[in-house]
């Protein structure tokens, strides 16, 4: 079952992590694998082309190819013709990711 195809929208509180996290002095923190996956899944809530995903998540082609292979093989993302869309399993990943992010932000005070 695909939530994206049914028009299910993500809860806005779960979208907080899609913005680049800024450190002091405007330095962007390095994204980890889970951060990149979450960004792709959020961006693909509506069907998107591979090129659009690459530019909007700031990945090079090799990185994108690797991530798309992983996400489709794990059924977090599905391919429809030449576009990709987040699945119900992908939305569940985002919910868990947001919960973990919130938990860690509460546990680690900002300096």
CATH classification of the domain holding 90 = 1.10.10.10
| CA 97 – CA 103 distance, rounded (Å) | 10
Query: With 0-12 CB in 10 A as exposed, 13-18 as middle and 19+ as buried, what is 52?
Result: middle
User: Is position 62 within any domain?
Assistant: yes
Q: Could you write out the DSSP letters of every residue in 77-101? A: EEEETTEEEE-HHHHHHHHHHHHHH
Whether the Cβ atoms of residue 17 and residue 98 lie closer than 8 Å to each other: yes
Entry pTM: 0.73
pLDDT at site 1? 36
* Domain, as residue range, for 45: 1-7+38-102
- Our count of domains for the chain comes to 1
In a domain, residue 13? The reply is no
Q: Specify if 12 maps to a domain.
A: no
Q: How far is CA 7 from CA 13, 14, 43, 111, in A?
A: 18, 16, 14, 40
In a domain, residue 73? The reply is: yes
Structural domain includes residue 23: no
pLDDT tens, residue order, the chain (111 aa)? 334 434 445 554 445 444 433 333 334 567 889 999 999 999 999 999 999 999 999 999 999 999 999 999 999 999 999 999 999 999 999 999 988 888 887 777 665
């Amino acid at each position: 079952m695909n939530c994206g195809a049914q028009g299910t929208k993500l809860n806005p509180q779960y979208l907080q992590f899609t913005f680049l996290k800024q450190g002091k002095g405007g330095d962007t923190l390095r994204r980890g694998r889970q951060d990149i996956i979450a960004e792709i899944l959020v961006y693909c809530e509506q069907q998107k082309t591979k090129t659009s995903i690459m530019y909007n998540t700031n990945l090079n082609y090799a990185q994108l190819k690797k991530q798309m292979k992983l996400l489709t093989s794990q059924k977090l993302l599905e391919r429809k013709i030449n576009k990709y869309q987040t699945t119900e399993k992908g939305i569940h990943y985002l919910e868990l990711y947001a919960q973990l992010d919130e938990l860690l932000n509460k546990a680690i005070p900002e300096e």
